[in-house]
Structure 1
Amino acid sequence: MNQQRKNTRPHGGKPSGGTKPSGPAKGGTVDRRQKKKKASTLDPKLFVKKAKPTGQAGFRTEKSFQDISLDSRLLSNILHKGYQTLTTIQDQSILPLLDGRDMMAISKTGSGKTAAFLIPIIEHALKDPRNYTALVVTPTRELALQIENEFKSLTAGLHLYSATFIGGTNINSDYKQLERKLQVIVGTPGRLLDLSDRKLLKLNQVNTLVLDEFDRMLDMGFVNDVKKLVNLIGRRDQTLLFSATLEPAQKQLIASLLHNPIEVIVENAGGTNENIEQQTVHVPEGADKFGMLAAMIKSPDMEKVILFAETKRLADRLAKKLNQAGVTAGQIHGDKSQNFRVKMIEEFKKGNIRVLVATDVAARGIDVADVSHVINYQLPMTMDAYIHRIGRTGRAGKVGHAITFVD
């Protein structure tokens, strides 16, 4: 591990408590007033691209996990999960992170980045479990839960402990979890700051800080929360930033967070997965857009579909109308309770519902195997949003499909 040092920290303002920025005005299936106020300016041609299947499961290399000097118990768990060879991001990240280096890593969604930072964290924790704490900060609840599930599967039988602290849950249940020594803490910014303010979470004991989906964290308005968390942590051994995209405007903030970092940029990280067939569907004026959607989804090829809507109200209406049309559907968005969101994702994973209707805020962190199609009911507002959305399909070397409706 590196010598501890004090980085120059930016100072954030009053914490937001994790409150999400206000979204666009709520509207119906086709809210004309909303469209006039805020319509996408992206060229629909950006959403058309032929798939070029690589045949690689998650951008894998030929390097085996057995080639890395890892604790034998951790290695056994890695192999038990079916991981044989490293993905590109893992190959370029794990060794520097084992050496204690700071890192800025840019890699596509679904490229194996969670294991890329968890494996070194676990290795460090095994060496000194009583004095080691890693904090993983994520923009969404679903992503936080996904990361902790991955940690638990990698640490089965290793006597390392973790907890997830997210909004939408009873904060009283967090107290008991914090009574135990935790090697890994995962959470969303608002809940973490709340627990720190209540003197329950001692952030100054964190050795390793991971900011996952850093780009999305900033997009969602968490910049001041992130700055406050960093200031409360203070001195630390290691800082990791993982992101799918990198904006030039973020570079100054990133430089203030990292000390002599390794930069890892997986080829075409800011682009879309080559395994995804991308196309648009034109909606003629006066046509029944929902009818076109329902007919499309009833195709047998649409085995497991994530349907993106721009507003919470629209997500609710689409899910209701799909069920009325005989298509099993559920929805997740920021107004739904955490228990409801977890239940919907589990039902989707099991195949009990064919279509999961989601907004961008709720969708980050959905980790479901074999999503056959991602459908955008409206043009996405940004390319970053589009990249992250369609990253839910075309995983593990399989061909996925992304369809965008164009009014």
Structure 2
Amino acid sequence: MFTKTRFDSWDLPENILGGLSAIEWEFATQVQKDTIPLARQGRDVIGQARTGSGKTAAFGIPILERCQPTGQLQALILAPTRELANQVAEEFQTLQGDSGLSIQTVYGGTDLEKQAKKLSDGVDIIVGTPGRVMDMTERGHINLDSPVLFCLDEADRMLDMGFFPDIMWVVERMNNREQTLLFSATFPQEIIDAAHEFMNDPEFVLTNSEELDIPPIEMFSVSVGRANKLWALGRLLIRMEENDQTIIFCNTKRMVDLAVQRLKKHRFDAEGLHGDLNQNQRERILNRFKEGEVKTIVATDVAARGIDVDGITLVVNYDLPADLDSFIHRVGRTGRIGRKGEAWSLVSRDDAPQLSKIMATY
């Protein structure tokens, strides 16, 4: 996971080295080691990296190094969800040390006027979701002629969520773009085609596939009748240490609510995350989870996008996902930055064929 390459061997600006030492980062991860030198030369880079590989710093450090605190927009980063945009912006704030850059998030579900006011006060770097960036550009609050650096994070997720037309709309208006970075865990053909359309002779950085898709996670499956899944889940949660955190995946909102209700009845501290929650409820639960106040979250795939918490040691597939990509994204929530983690799948008779399919591809 980590290489022997030290950040201080790269002649980075003092501010950034200060930011790195504040969080005690000494050694680069593989994706950082492969990406940062290329990106610092101004090359376009396509990086294959999953969440938890250190990819935010892989594109963050070269972007932060090139930006000056002028209050003029120099870099735009697009992410699929508000949570991910927030996380990227938070990491940028940490990594910039004393650089003094204004880093702002732009996403839906929050007060548009407040966002506009912040932007008019001056901004150096925007981290946003495609729809709201498009909206703010049309309203005249963002000038896409201004940024020279562009980064797409979790491109495959954006494709799944139907954002590619919005992304192309944004890219076509960035007339002074000098460098583009694109990161994705998987590479459907549409992403490769789009990349060739708007990137300039990009360098591919492929973290080798074993390291990429299979973090140090132990995987288990339990054959259990549908009616006994909750009992099995309780047995798994009882094994948890005090500092452990868990994500349980269900395929429907109804199942999320039901599981939370039953877990609470048996005195497990659990919260549910699904699409019916409003943005404030969602952020409140996520913040409590990040702070370690909530130990267990039950979520649907869509709601779990962008949950990036290092303390997750257990992922449970209460329901098996429909495809391998979702499986990889789910289990990748544990085993972060080289830590150990466990992923358990509760498999009823109906799920068995799907599990065989996932195992065969994995």
Query: Taking structure 1 as the reference length, what is the TM-score of the superposition?
Result: 0.81
AA of the residue aligned to 2:50: K
For 2:334, the equivalent position in structure 1 comes to 393
Return the alpha-carbon distance in structure 2 between the equivalents of residues 274 and 103 of structure 1.
Answer: 23
Larger RCO (CA under 8 A, 6+ residues apart)? 1
The separation in 1 between residues aligned to 2:143 and 2:321, in whole angstroms, is: 39
How large is the RMSD of aligned CA atoms in angstroms? Answer: 1.8
- How big is the shift at 1:186? 0.7
* 1:71 equivalent among 13, 34, 45: 13
1:295 aligned to 2:238? no
Distance in 1 (CA, whole Å) between partners of 2:8 and 2:73 is 25
Q: Which amino acid aligns with 1:119?
A: I
- How far is 1:266 from its partner? 0.4
Residue 264 of structure 1: SS of its match in structure 2? strand
Q: 1:125 aligns with which of 39, 51, 67?
A: 67
One-letter amino acid of the structure 2 residue matched with residue 354 of structure 1 = K
Could you list the per-position Cα deviations for residues 16-56 of structure 1 after superposition, in whole angstroms to 9, with x for gaps in the alignment?
xxxxxxxxxxxxxxxxxxxxxxxxxxxxxxxxxxxxxxxxx
Q: Secondary structure at the match of 2:344?
A: strand
Distance 2:331 2:75 in 1: 30
Cα distance change, pair 318–186 in 1 and its aligned pair in 2 (3 A): same
AA of the residue aligned to 2:301: D
Name which of 82, 107, 111 aligns with 1:166.
Answer: 107
* Cα separation, 2, equivalents of 1:94 and 1:188: 24
> Which amino acid counterpart does residue 125 of structure 1 have in structure 2?
C
Residue 205 of structure 2 corresponds to which residue in structure 1?
A: 264
Q: Any idea what the Cα deviations from partners look like across 1:327-367, whole Å, max 9, x if unmatched?
A: 11112233222222222122222332221112222222212
Shift of 1:132: 5.2
- The one-letter amino acid paired with 1:278 is M
Distance in 2 between residues matched to 1:315 and 1:167, nearest whole Å: 24
- The alignment covers a number of residue pairs equal to 347
Pair 1:155–1:271, CA change in 2 (3 A):
closer
How do 1:2-17 and structure 2 match up within 5 A? none
Note the C-alpha offset of 1:386. 1.2
* Counterparts in 2 of 1:269 and 1:112: CA distance versus 1, 3 Å: farther
* Unmatched 5+ stretches in structure 1: 1-58
Identity %: 37
Structure 2 residue aligned with 1:17: none
Question: What is the TM-score when the length of structure 2 is the normalising length?
Answer: 0.91
Compare 229-238 and 294-303 and name the one that shifted more. 294-303
Question: Which of the residues 324, 330, 335 maps onto 1:383?
Answer: 324
Gaps of 5+ in 2: 349-362
Deviations 1:197-216 (A, max 9, x none): 21211122121111100011
> SS in structure 1 opposite 2:234?
helix
Aligned match of 1:43: none
Single out whichever of 194-203 and 142-151 deviates more from structure 2: 194-203
Match of 1:153 in 2: 94
C-alpha distance in 1, partners of 2:96/2:126?
14
- What SS does the corresponding residue of 1:331 show, helix, strand or coil? strand
Alignment of 1:8-407 (within 5 A): 59-126=1-68, 129=70, 133-268=74-209, 272-284=213-225, 287-301=227-241, 303-407=244-348
Matched AA of 1:99: Q
1:227-277 per-position Cα deviation (integer Å, ceiling 9, x unaligned): 111122233111110011112343211211211111100001685334100
Counterpart of 1:300, as a letter, is M
**Which letter does structure 2 place at the counterpart of 1:177?**
K
Residues of 2 paired with 1:369 and 1:281: CA distance?
Answer: 25
Aligned-partner SS, 1:402: strand
Give the whole-Å Cα distance in 2 for the aligned partners of 1:262 and 1:248. 17
Aligned equivalents of 1:333 and 1:130: distance in 2?
37
Asked whether the 8 Å contact 1:140–1:365 carries over to 2, the reply is: yes
Shift in CA distance, 172/313, structure 1 to aligned 2, threshold 3 Å: farther
